[in-house]
């Protein structure tokens, strides 16, 4: 049994990761300050003997003894990370320093949940790990984009300077149950609006693309990355290599919900990427991983979750 720390463990991705690790019989320390995470996501785990919850903000040091660290703590949707941009940057940078310092002290392997947003509004498509990105360093999204880029810098400097065992994954759009209904992300927006019979908001002309990975597939990749050979540190893209336009996504959501909502078009937000699609050749080679859940099946599971939650 390994003692594993999951920062951001009560969030959307973190709670699903905790589920898998608890089921494996590992000893889990879930750390969260509940800025965007929710106790409802991990309530079902509180009675498990191998699960412990600690309220803590990783911008402050943490003194515990662990074997592995999954660093997921950071608000990930524009609505949340732009609410307090200075704190968002501190979470990415100070949080990384504190988690890396902990990993160095206890000689733990540490995985960083980075993001496709490090690529910014890409002029290389699909995005490969060698691409350095096209990010606006002073824009409204920079607190998240540049915060995550700096966190990657810190991880690789700790690896080179202190021989720390690191793993870095770049997460592309992921969706599924436990996404916050008001997080402003496109999948949750479309589903909630369709279920409520409200107009579906399309930003721009609806031709911008995203790729959507179901949460179960993402967590599987994360677990495989943590257990991958020490020489493979990443970064590695994790996401679905099939892209869809926003209009295509809206049509699928309306079909699966049986909704009759109208589509309305709004101005596109500043620095919103035009295209987003991962090249996952590295993940296939080193992790033997590629997504298995189709968009239709994943959306159906997510819609069922939101129907139940919105009825509460």
Please report the sign of the dihedral spanned by the C-alpha atoms of residue 17, residue 19, residue 24, residue 30: positive
- Look up 144 and say whether it is catalytic: yes
Q: Which two tokens stand for residue 101?
A: 């310092």
3-state secondary structure of 205: coil
Whether 300 and 260 have beta carbons less than 8 Å apart is answered as no
Q: How far apart are CA 8 and CA 239, in angstroms?
A: 20
Please give the C-alpha separations between residue 122 and each of 18, 125, 197, 206, 275, in angstroms, as whole numbers: 32, 7, 34, 18, 7
Kindly name the residue from 81, 144, 158, 175 that is annotated as catalytic. Answer: 144
CA distance 172 to 21: 22
Residue that has been written with the tokens 């691409």 in this structure: 131
Residue tagged 């909502």 (tokens):
261
For residue 274, give the DSSP letter: S
Going from the C-alpha of 146 to that of each of 49, 138, 299, the distances in angstroms are 39, 9, 30
Q: Which two tokens stand for residue 244?
A: 């869809």
212's tokens: 């959507």
List residues with catalytic annotation.
Answer: 144
């Amino acid at each position: 049994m390994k003692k594993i720390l999951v920062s951001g463990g009560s969030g959307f991705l973190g709670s699903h990761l905790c589920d898998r690790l608890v089921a494996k019989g590992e000893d889990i320390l879930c750390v969260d300050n509940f800025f965007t995470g929710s106790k409802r996501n991990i309530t079902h785990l509180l009675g498990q003997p191998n699960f412990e919850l600690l309220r803590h903000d990783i911008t402050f040091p943490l003194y515990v003894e662990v074997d592995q660290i999954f660093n997921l703590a950071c608000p990930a949707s524009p609505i949340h990370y732009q609410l307090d941009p200075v704190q968002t940057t501190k979470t990415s940078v100070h949080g990384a320093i504190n988690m890396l310092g902990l990993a160095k002290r206890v000689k733990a392997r540490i995985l960083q949940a980075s993001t496709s947003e490090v690529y910014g509004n890409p002029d290389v498509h699909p995005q490969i790990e060698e691409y350095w990105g096209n990010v606006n360093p002073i824009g409204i999204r920079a607190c998240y984009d540049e915060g995550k880029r700096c966190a990657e810098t810190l991880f690789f400097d700790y690896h080179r300077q202190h021989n720390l065992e690191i793993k870095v994954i770049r997460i592309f759009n992921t969706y599924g149950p436990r996404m916050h209904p008001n997080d402003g992300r496109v999948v949750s927006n479309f589903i909630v609006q369709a279920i409520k019979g409200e107009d579906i908001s399309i930003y721009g002309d609806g031709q911008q693309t995203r790729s959507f990975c179901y949460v179960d597939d993402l967590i599987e990749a994360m677990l495989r990355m943590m257990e991958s050979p020490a020489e493979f540190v990443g970064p590695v893209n994790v996401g679905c290599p099939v892209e869809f336009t926003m209009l295509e996504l809206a049509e699928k959501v309306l079909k699966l919900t049986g909704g009759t909502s109208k589509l309305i078009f709004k101005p596109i937000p500043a620095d919103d990427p035009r295209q987003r699609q991962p090249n996952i050749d590295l993940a296939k080679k080193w992790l033997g991983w590629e997504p298995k859940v189709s968009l239709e099946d994943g959306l159906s599971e997510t819609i069922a979750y939101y129907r139940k939650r919105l009825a509460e």
